[in-house]
Every structure is written in structure tokens, then in C-alpha cells.
Amino acid sequence: MRWTRKHLLGLEGVGRDEIVAILDAAAKFREILDRPVKKVPTLRGITIVNLFFEPSTRTRMSFELAEKRLSADTLNFAASTSSVKKGETLRDTARNIEAMMVDMVVMRHPSPGAPHFLTHHLDASIINAGDGPHEHPTQALLDLFTMRERLGDLDGKRVTIVGDILHSRVARSNVWGLTALGAEVTLCGPTTFMPVEIEKMGARVSTDIRESTVDADVVNVLRIQRERQEGGFLPSLREYTNLFGITAERVAGMRPDVVIMHPGPINRGVELMTDVADGDRSVILDQVTNGVAVRMAIIYLLSRVRAAERIEESEILAEVGL
């Protein structure tokens, strides 16, 4: 399967073969990360901007490391949307950056659809590093990579995602990716955290943590933002922990080979207890390592499409004698 997309905006509509193409490429890059010299010259001369309108440490660092391992030139732009709102529009910010001859933009933005908006105004390839609660495709791909590492083919595997589904881009991208690979997905959390009609994405919805995790091959635990309590979604964090927190006791009732995941950063003691997060079922740090390899694969595949586009363009120009 050849990867033909210019942008990676989300996993909705991305097919099984395409996802497998990324994961297979990521496996090759994962090997590079175990070498003493972890850098390849693949993207020498390519410039990538990391455009972050929301605070992020791990995703931004993971992208930056992936870009550097591929020998791309990287620029970091961090701004709060409020300061941007006062002055420049997103369109102008992006076009100014592109005028510096940038090939690829990695963007995190609090507004859903912001990366789609950029594709209408820029020639660069766009990678969505999280757009509000919409999608976070690279996180889902690294989750899939990590699951595949532990479980092999995900067809028929049972994956339960626990927590604040309503505000979670990770959950949405995971559902698209997992269902494309044939996994059975259950979403578990309080009713106030369930977006309407989410079951139409092809996932089962449950409010019973025991029932929804007892047979699970994977339990992917989402971060609970403390401010959700003030938003009226939760009576208290304590009640959330009592009903849905992943404790050692609850893990003891799951399959002995269950895989515990978390996209980070963890609110220890709220959605995930320390002994589970640091326990032998947890693959949370593998997710972080794999994240670099998966992002290397995505950047590499998108840059190849872009290069092919440029080659075709130059062929056309050559044909007309320019």
C-alpha cells in the first residue's frame, strides 16, 4: 500500500491498509531508535515548523525529536491563541511562516478544524497534532503501534477507553483507528462525559467499569482534567475515582495479560493509581518511545508524497519547456 495523502488531519476515513503502511514504516524507524547513532539523513534540507497554540510538552518534544532524527530543520512557534487573537490571524501567522519556505507544518490548536482551515491557505503539508476535542491522529497511531507490539494483529481484540470521552481527541482518533483495524471498542465513563450519538462511530458505550474491562485486551485510560468538576460534569474527582479510577484492585479483576495505557500526562490518584501506572501491565513509557518512531514514519511518508508532487510539477514544467 502506497501512502498518498499530503496531510494527516485525522484518522476518520483512513483505511486499514494506510494505517498498516504507517505502522510498518514506524517499525523500521523504531529499530533506528535502538541504534547507538539514532539519526538518519532522510529529510536533509526539509524544513518543518511546530506550530503550537496550546501548551504541550510531550507531543511537541516528540515531534521535534522525530524531525531531528530525520535530519529536518525544525522551527518552534508557541503562542497562546489569546495573544494571537489580539493581533495576527491564524491565516496570516501561517502564511508568514510559509513564506520562509517551510515544507511541513505540525499544528496543535484549540479550535476543531483549524488544521483543515490551514490546508485551504497553505501549500505545505499539515500534520494535526491535536485540534480541540476533534482528532489527535499521531497519538492514536502510536497507541495502535504499542498495542500491535504487545498483541499482534488487532483484528477482534477488545479495547476499552475509559474517562472523559466528550473532551477527548485521543478517544475519537483511537476509535477511528481501532475500528479500521477490526478491534472491538468500548467507551466507558460517566454519562456527562459521553458525546451524543458516539455509538454511531462504531463503539460500544458503557458506564460500568467492571463489565467493560473484565474481558479487555487493552484498557486505555484518559486524563481527567481537574477543571471538569467546575464545569459541572462531575460531582467530585473523588466520586469519579470511586466509580471509574483504575486501581490495582480493579486491574486484578481484569485479564492477567491486560495492557494498561495512558496518553499522558497522568493525574495520579484520579484516573490511574500510581501502582498501576508504574506496574508491570503498564506500557505508558513504551508509548512515549514509540511516539517518536510513529511520528518519524508519518513525517517521512508525507514528505515522500510532497516530493513526488514536486517531481510531477517539474515534469510538467519540463514538458512545457520551462
Phi, psi of 225 (to 5 degrees): -75, 135
Segment (H or E) for 78 = strand 73-78
Closer residue to other proteins, CB minimum distance, 35 or 86? 86
Considering only 57-65, 86-94, 234-242, 277-285, which stretch makes contact with other proteins by CB under 8 A? 86-94
Asked if 264 touches other proteins (CB under 8 A), the answer is no
Task: Tell the smallest beta-carbon distance from residue 147 to other proteins (Å).
Answer: 23
Q: What are phi and psi of 204, to 5 degrees?
A: -90, 145
Amino acid residing at 62 = S
Instruction: Decide whether 132 or 264 has the Cβ nearer to other proteins.
Output: 132
Please, which residue, 167 or 306, has the CB nearer to other proteins? 167
Helix, coil or strand: residue 67: helix
Restricting to residues 156-215, name those near other proteins by CB under 8 A: 169, 172, 195-198, 200-201
Tell the residue number behind the cell numbers 506496574, with chain if given. 279
One residue of 6, 68, 116, 204 binding other proteins per CB under 8 A: 116
Q: Is residue 83 close enough to count as binding other proteins by CB under 8 A?
A: no
Give the binding range for other proteins (CB under 8 A) out of 28-36, 107-115, 221-229, 253-261. Answer: 107-115
d(CA 121, CA 282): 42
CA 295 to centroid of chain Cα atoms: 9
Indicate if the alpha-carbon torsion angle 18, 188, 108, 32 is positive or negative.
negative
In the complex, least distance from residue 83 CB atom to other proteins, rounded to whole angstroms: 14
Query: Which residue in the block uniquely carries the three cell numbers 508525507?
Result: 302
Sign of CA dihedral 267, 223, 19, 147: positive
Distance between CA atoms of residues 290 and 144, nearest Å = 10
Nearer to other proteins (CB atom), residue 118 or residue 259: 118
Residues 151 and 8: their CA atoms lie apart, in Å, by 26
* CB closer to other proteins, 113 vs 269: 113
Paired sense of beta strands 125-131 and 104-109, if any = parallel
- Local structure of residue 8 (DSSP, 8 states): B
Binders of other proteins in range 26-55 (CB under 8 A): none
Q: Which of 7/172 has CB closer to other proteins? A: 172
Q: Which is nearer to other proteins, 173 or 282 (by Cβ)?
A: 173
Which is closer to other proteins, CB of 135 or CB of 184? 135
Q: How many other CB atoms are found less than 10 A from the CB of residue 310? A: 11
In the bound complex, what is the minimum distance in angstroms from residue 280's beta carbon to other proteins?
35
For other proteins, which residue of 6, 12, 56, 247 counts as binding (CB under 8 A)? 12
User: From the list 113, 149, 247, 305, which residue makes contact with other proteins (rule: CB under 8 A)?
Assistant: 113
Using CB under 8 A as the binding rule, the residues of this chain from 119 to 148 that contact other proteins are: 131-135
The C-alpha angle 74, 174, 239, rounded to 5 degrees, equals 110
DSSP code for 200: G
The yes or no reply on residue 269 touching other proteins (CB under 8 A) is no
Shortest separation between residue 34's beta carbon and other proteins, angstroms = 36
DSSP 102: -
- Which CB, 91 or 268, lies closer to other proteins? 91
Spatial CB neighbours of 250, under 8 Å, sequence gap ≥ 6: 209, 210, 213
Residue 196: CB minimum distance to other proteins, A: 6
Give the residues lining the site for other proteins (CB under 8 A).
Answer: 12, 85, 89-91, 109, 111-114, 116-117, 131-135, 169, 172, 195-198, 200-201
